[in-house]
A = this chain, B = another copy of it.
Amino acid sequence: MIISMRLHATREEIDQVCDRIREFGYKVHSIEGEERVVIGAVGVGDVTACLESLEALPGVEKAVRISAPYKFVSREFHPARTQIRVNGHEIGGDRFMVMAGPCSVESETQIMETAKAVAEAGADMLRGGAFKPRTSPYDFQGLEVEGLRLLRKAKEATGLSIITEVMSDGDVDLVSEYADVLQIGARNMQNFSLLKALGRSTRPILLKRGMSSTIKELLMSAEYIVAHGNPNVILCERGIRTFETETRNTCDITAVAVLHELTHLPVVVDPSHATGKRSLVPALARAAVAIGADGLLVEVHPCPEKAISDGAQSLRLPQFRQMMQDLGPYFKLWKEARLAETPAAV
């Protein structure tokens, strides 16, 4: 920790800070500048508590931690990429993972038709919501268990793995019965009760970045899951909230590269929620592959204009097929880059 004292901090205030640092078990290194004093605290201890305590002392301008607040998910402590096995395929390795499907599971016809089409086009997983977080209490809230059953049917028919959302700690066990990967929505990224419950699950988790969450907060939420026992976390950039209104969210595409520097966990991009507009999805998907994301999560619907939710951002089946085809050469470049890096990363 580094503590900057205010300009006219008294000797007494400085001493009080040094004493407090020592009480927490740290060693004190004081730097007396021309204008103000800066104090370093070195050692091992309860950093957060110590920081909060110091910030409340008189004469303190600012107290900041130097070490990252996360351990398990940090690339500094685990340099090789984490590869997460889902039904025989590994995400985070040298296979780019495509997850596609409708926003909501609406009916057997809809989900079966979509599943077959995305499987043929080359997707690895089927997405589809059974429990839906909706801004309005008057909107469709999902088919719930019936939706899970339909997803299982689609899996049996196509061999696709299933990814679907859990919204409450009480539903983790139920959804785990049906899903291969549990998806956590942006609005639940800091639902700590849910994160703890996911730590006790054996399913891989796809954790979406909150729409106003920093990269650091996303990593802290992943750390919650890992620290509670589940090391298999996939991160997802799905756009953040900014002042811009032309798109539904603003895709922080650079976050993919930043996350790959900071963490060993795989990172996927959701170009559907990031843009909110079908016409923009293929372009952003290309950018995601090029920047080195580990996968894509894409909304696809056999008839978007009849979709109960997110129709405007869902690709039609032929559009998805076309996009997969156009992405072909980018997948190839992606794989070459991955194969080239492997030895260095381990």
Contact = CB atoms under 8 A, between A and B. Distances in A.
A243 B241 contact: yes
Interface in A120-173: 133-140, 167-171
Which of A57, A192, A274, A333 has the most C-beta atoms of chain B within 10 angstroms of its own C-beta? Answer: A192
Q: Assembly of this chain: how many copies?
A: 4
B305 A53 contact: yes
A342 interface: no
A89 interface: no
A35 B76 CA distance: 10
A108 B66 CA distance: 34
Contact of A214 (B36, B246, B280): B246
B245 A66 contact: no
A322 interface: no
18 contacts: A33-B66, A34-B44, A38-B66, A49-B139, A52-B312, A56-B314, A69-B135, A70-B136, A137-B228, A242-B243, A244-B255, A250-B254, A251-B253, A251-B254, A258-B280, A284-B291, A287-B290, A330-B333
Interface of A: 2, 4, 7-8, 20, 29, 31-36, 38, 40, 42-44, 48-49, 52-57, 66-67, 69-70, 76, 133-140, 167-171, 187-188, 190-195, 210-212, 214-217, 220, 223-224, 227-228, 240-247, 250-258, 261, 274-275, 278-280, 283-284, 286-292, 304-312, 314, 329-330, 333
5 tightest Cβ-Cβ pairs between the two chains A and B: A212-B212, A56-B311, A290-B290, A55-B312, A168-B193
